[in-house]
Amino acid sequence: MSNAAQAYSRVSQTTASPREIEAQALLKAANKLQAVLNDWDKVRNDEIAEAVLFNRKLWSIFLSAATDDSNQQGVGVRQNVANIGVFVMTQTYELQLNPRAELLPPLIEINRNLAAGLCGRA
């Protein structure tokens, strides 16, 4: 990456809102999972594990925020995020134990839909 591109990346990250940063992280996770799904027959187990781990870590952060009493979001929103997070964690756990391509599309869709909602495109 060029120096200019790196500088732009740093500036865009420091000027992005928390919602935009969350949306970018969700899209990054969705793209990693989609890449694994697209090449399922050729993908290595460590590539699957890396994509799933990234998604799991991201959702761990969301779950932690949703259950934090200092979170200023309404209880309903926090409960919805927690419910989705539990589903995501269950799916990722299953993927880690028994990798199957059919477990990926719901995770990809959840991440993309939530990202779109955060960006106001839902």
CATH number of the domain enclosing 59: 1.20.120
Three-class secondary structure of residue 100 per DSSP? coil
Q: What is the pLDDT of residues 66-76, one digit of tens each?
A: 888 888 888 89
- The domain in which residue 50 lies consists of 19-118
Is residue 5 pLDDT above 60, yes or no? no
Residue 36 lies in a domain: yes
Q: How buried is 24 (Cβ within 10 angstroms: 0-12 exposed, 13-18 middle, 19+ buried)?
A: middle
Tens digit of pLDDT for each residue in 50-65?
A: 999 999 999 999 999 9
Q: How confident is the model at residue 38 (pLDDT cuts 50, 70, 90)?
A: very high
- Number of structural domains (the chain) is 1
Asked whether residue 103 is assigned to any structural domain, the reply reads yes
- Please give the Cα distance from 26 to 58 (Å, whole number): 8
